A and B are shown apart, each in its own frame.
Chain A
């Protein structure tokens, strides 16, 4: 069953046709990678999923809801979480607080006026957050301030923040960008474990190593158009893809 479906999406910035009749179906409990050379429109497409950009025509639906024109918090509340290219975390707060905030947002909704409650009484939420930190291997640093973390650890924290909400769909924008090789491999392992639990993921990635170790299905975007959509092993041999990436040379 398809969870996320993109139908005939067009987006134009001035004279540039950033997205041209893009169609995409993301199946439940799969990892769907979107690859393509620089400027192919990958990030534009992702921004159309999360309400940051409004397509000129076409529609994006998730689980039957149209995502167009919804503010980011409503898109999150219906089950879509997002990981950013540079990890977006609450850097002045502790790791535990970082994970408790999304857990509260999940439990209490977009707004809850509860100034008379006490965070220290919310053992259920803090237990859940602690469990999540243990899962990504950061439980020892739970009381540290998040800004002290390494790039790779910030990414793990961000993943924990998304996963604590039990999202139906996880969007990842170049999750390993700017990471050292060891950090990249750790992150891939973590994402594999997440995928095994049946979380649907859409990954935008440059790094072919990451794409081919994770993806169940790959869509190739070039100049705003989907030029190929197939299983990873078949994408490698696709002449159109080789053309787009290497100008005809063989991968």
Chain B
């Protein structure tokens, strides 16, 4: 079975466009002030996180409020892999993905005994439990409030014995056979992961397995009476999305070898829910777009402060200027969440299908106009689906 046989040509085109857009990210996003590696890395990492979350929430409809637990667990696992084995990012992300999956298997096994709001609360409770444990009992593993860091005296067993690398007295950073995982090389490492993750998610969406997951969302009762045991399906979806979260956490540690418990907090779990809904739940591209949009706005709006606003509105008379700045000041800097909230409300009210619905509407509107102009000229059939 080869990929070309089982992936339809329209999907291959979508994948190719996606890969090209991601790889050209630094160029495409430069005019928007987002063409620098730190932010691009965030886009890619949170894109992976949201794609994984969408496999659970978008397909099965099970809303987890605890996915940050797997993200955090992935980060800790990656940093421990750096400390114990090697600074090479590959073992670190493999371990992070695997541990995310195992952790999700345990939490999912218990949480999936319930559905709807009870499931959401159970996952939230588990994530908050993990967060508090990371700060208290598990301090020997997590290093508590300070966060887990690399130190010079780490054993790095694989590096010393197999690769024969000695970092001397400098604190090493993660590197892939000599390429340091910071800046653009770090971004491209994350970008390749994002493309692989997108492809896997696409295959899941198009598979009979994915069809069963969508059936769980629309009518679980019927599916049971159709001879399908829904529990292993939802558990598999939960574990897969946990692995995505673990990988995302691992990549965070790859680009910045540090892990803190705040990554497990419920706000981080809530953020991935927002990303998925904002972009378009249950769509392939939506979660990536949602993740990008939120991280972009976070970056833009939180960078403004009262002084920059004062400069922007310096053309206004003084009294009015202070008034405008005082009001707008609430929406920027630390208050950028207010902007996010307003944006989210607008999207949910006017575009319930998220940004992807907006894109689809635009495409439909454009094709309708195009067809009218051509006045009945035969339109090319879309590639076989």
List chain A positions with a Cβ less than 8 A from chain B: 50, 71-73, 76-77, 81-82, 84, 88-93, 97, 100-102, 104-106, 108-122, 161, 165
Contacts and interface: CB of A to CB of B under 8 A. Distances in A.
**4 nearest CB pairs, A to B:** A76-B227, A110-B229, A88-B222, A92-B218
Given A73-B229, A112-B209, 6 more contacts: A88-B219, A90-B223, A97-B215, A113-B236, A118-B6, A121-B5
Nearest to B206: A118
Interface string B1-42: 100011110000000000000000000000000000000000
Interface in B208-255: 208-212, 214-215, 217-219, 221-230, 232-233, 236, 240
B203 interface: yes
Nearest to A117: B207
Contact of A118 (B8, B215, B225, B229): B8
Contacts of A102: 226-227
Q: Report the contact-size class of chain B (Cβ under 8 Å from the partner).
A: 35 or more
B203 A73 contact: no
A167 B136 CA distance: 57
Choose among B5, B207, B210 the residue with the greatest number of A CB atoms under 10 Å from its CB: B207
B229 A117 contact: no
Given A104-B208, A116-B207, A93 B6 contact: no
A76 B233 contact: no
Nearest to B6: A118
Contacts of B207: 114-119
Contacts, number: 114
A90 B1 CA distance: 30
B204 interface: yes
A116 B218 contact: no
Nearest to B201: A115
Contacts of A104: 208, 211-212
A101 B206 contact: no
Contact of B214 (A93, A108, A116, A121): A93
A239 B210 CA distance: 56
B169 interface: no
Nearest to B237: A115
B385 interface: yes
Contacts of A90: 214-215, 218-219, 222-223
Contacts of A71: 224, 229
A77 B228 CA distance: 8
Contacts of A82: 225
Nearest to A107: B208
A52 B299 CA distance: 53
13 contacts: A72-B225, A73-B224, A73-B225, A73-B226, A73-B230, A97-B211, A102-B226, A104-B211, A105-B226, A110-B229, A111-B232, A114-B207, A165-B227
A92 B227 contact: no
Nearest to B384: A120
Contacts of A81: 225
B225 A88 contact: yes
A71 B221 CA distance: 12
Choose among A97, A111, A122 the residue with the greatest number of B CB atoms under 10 Å from its CB: A111
